[in-house]
């Protein structure tokens, strides 16, 4: 069949498309819906033929079962929208098509997808708009609310899970701040985070809890929550943190068998902040000599040389490192293949960075439950990537201070 189209008609058509591109999409979508509906209807008719064991209008068995017309049903298909189907019936009502899932199963699949989109941080408004393209209709408020409740329950169950089977030797602890809507106001709310390292070097997120990272009472409550979930603190041998006095003090009280490692990146940042710009590179090189020494004894020797060299020109920098030197070198007491991972809080900083990256498009997190849902999803996803990246399985000579010497 040939379609004749005048030039003027073609121009008018393309002008209309330019003014409203969505019309073209709608035209294509409607055509696809019709074709898909016809195809599925024919497929189900063939399915009934196989079920009955005979073709249409062919006389069959003595059981008296035969075709009994069809009924119309509107069915939603992702990426296409609503399609009109004609579902065939048999006289005895025994035929069940396998081509199109029953309503309950399909609604369950939709609920799972809603849950996944919620976990990835999509807003309720955008979820409604997206669903219109995916399944041909906007989600109702009730559907969104149901998905939200189910997810909140699942996340709380994960956050409060029993930890008695986890033997944790190292703890990385830190806090990350989110802009959150609480009580009708927008506030910066910190969330405390703990990553545990098992005996085999695998990592997992142990806890997420809102609280002030500068507050000793918040950290105490956080650690007591881990213990109330049956985490055996006697197995913890080291805590890696950024050097907040309140945090270190509480950690030592709650995990009396453990030592603390202060993040060398944070210490370097504090020291370099007290150094004139013209001397930052030289000071950073000397700090690297201390932190990357081959033994604790050599590190102490380099530290003494650092003090002697910079005492007069940068006394504040020297006093700064004096306050942290012992806790900066704790990692030397542990297996050498793990040193690179224990020197800094990079492991938990990368998790926090991923938290911030995924919440950035949202700008404001819609409450604590919404925040926990998103963080739980990211945490579980990160744990999958950690399975192939265990503590002690990384290269031992990465330059920890490179970013500071370049950006200072």
DSSP structural state of residue 401: T
362 SS3 class: helix
What is the tens place of the pLDDT at every residue in 307-348?
999 999 999 999 999 999 999 999 999 999 999 999 999 999
The maximal CA–CA distance of the chain, rounded, in angstroms, is 108
**pLDDT value, residue 31:** 59
Assessment of whether the complete model's pTM goes beyond 0.95: no
Q: How far is the C-alpha of 360 from the C-alpha of 357, rounded, in Å?
A: 5
Q: What sign results for the dihedral spanned by CA atoms 368, 374, 380, 382?
A: negative
For the chain, list residues with pLDDT below 70: 1-33, 35, 59-63, 77-81, 99, 101-141, 143-145, 147-148, 361-364, 366, 393-408
Alpha-carbon distances, residue 56 vs 87, 94, 382 (angstroms): 15, 17, 56
Contact 197, 186 (CB under 8 A): no
Structure tokens at 97: 């098509």
- 73 phi, psi to nearest 5 deg: -145, 140
What is the tens place of the pLDDT at every residue in 19-55?
554 444 455 455 566 767 777 788 788 888 888 887 7
User: What average pLDDT is seen over the chain?
Assistant: 80
**pLDDT value, residue 24:** 44
Long-range CB pairs of 292-299 (<8 Å, 24+ gap) are 292/397, 292/400, 295/332, 296/329, 296/332, 296/333, 299/329, 299/332
Classify each residue of 27-66 as buried b or exposed e, where b means 16 or more C-beta atoms within 10 Å of its C-beta: eebeeebeebbeebbeebbebbeeebeeeeeeeeeeeebb
């Amino acid at each position: 069949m040939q379609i004749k189209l005048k030039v003027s008609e073609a121009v008018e058509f393309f002008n209309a498309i330019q003014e409203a591109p969505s019309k073209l999409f709608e035209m294509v979508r409607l055509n696809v819906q019709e074709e898909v509906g016809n195809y599925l209807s024919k497929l189900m008719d063939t399915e009934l033929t196989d079920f009955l064991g005979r073709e249409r209008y062919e006389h069959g068995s003595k059981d008296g079962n035969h075709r009994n017309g069809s009924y119309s049903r509107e069915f939603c298909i992702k990426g296409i929208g609503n399609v009109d189907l004609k579902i065939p019936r048999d006289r005895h009502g025994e035929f069940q098509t396998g081509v199109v899932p029953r309503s309950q199963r399909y609604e369950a699949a939709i609920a799972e997808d809603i849950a996944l989109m919620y976990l990835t941080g999509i807003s309720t408004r955008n979820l409604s708009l997206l669903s219109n393209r995916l399944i041909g209709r906007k989600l109702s408020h009730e559907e969104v609310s149901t998905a939200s409740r189910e997810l909140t329950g699942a996340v709380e169950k994960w956050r409060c899970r029993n930890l008695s089977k986890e033997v944790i030797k190292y703890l990385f602890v830190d806090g990350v701040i989110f802009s959150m809507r609480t009580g009708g106001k927008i506030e910066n709310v910190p969330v405390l985070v703990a990553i545990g390292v098992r005996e085999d070097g695998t990592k997992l997120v142990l806890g997420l809890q809102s609280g002030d990272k500068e507050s000793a009472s918040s950290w105490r409550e956080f650690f007591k929550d881990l213990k109330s979930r049956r985490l055996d603190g006697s197995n913890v041998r080291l805590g890696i943190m950024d050097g907040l006095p309140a945090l270190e003090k509480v950690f030592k009280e709650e995990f009396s068998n453990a030592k603390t490692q202060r993040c060398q990146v944070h210490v370097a940042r504090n020291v370099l902040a007290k150094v004139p710009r013209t001397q930052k590179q030289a000071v950073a090189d000397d700090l690297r000599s201390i932190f990357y020494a081959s033994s604790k004894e050599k590190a102490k020797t380099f530290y003494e040389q650092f003090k002697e060299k910079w005492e007069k020109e940068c006394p504040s920098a020297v006093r700064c490192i004096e306050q942290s030197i012992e806790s900066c070198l704790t990692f030397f007491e542990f297996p050498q293949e793990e040193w690179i991972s224990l020197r800094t809080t990079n492991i938990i900083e990368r998790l926090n960075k991923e938290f911030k990256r995924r919440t950035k498009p949202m700008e404001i997190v819609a409450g604590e439950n919404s925040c926990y849902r998103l963080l739980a999803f990211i945490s579980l996803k990160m744990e999958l990537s950690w399975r192939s990246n265990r503590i002690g399985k990384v290269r031992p000579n990465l330059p920890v201070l490179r970013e500071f010497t370049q950006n200072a």
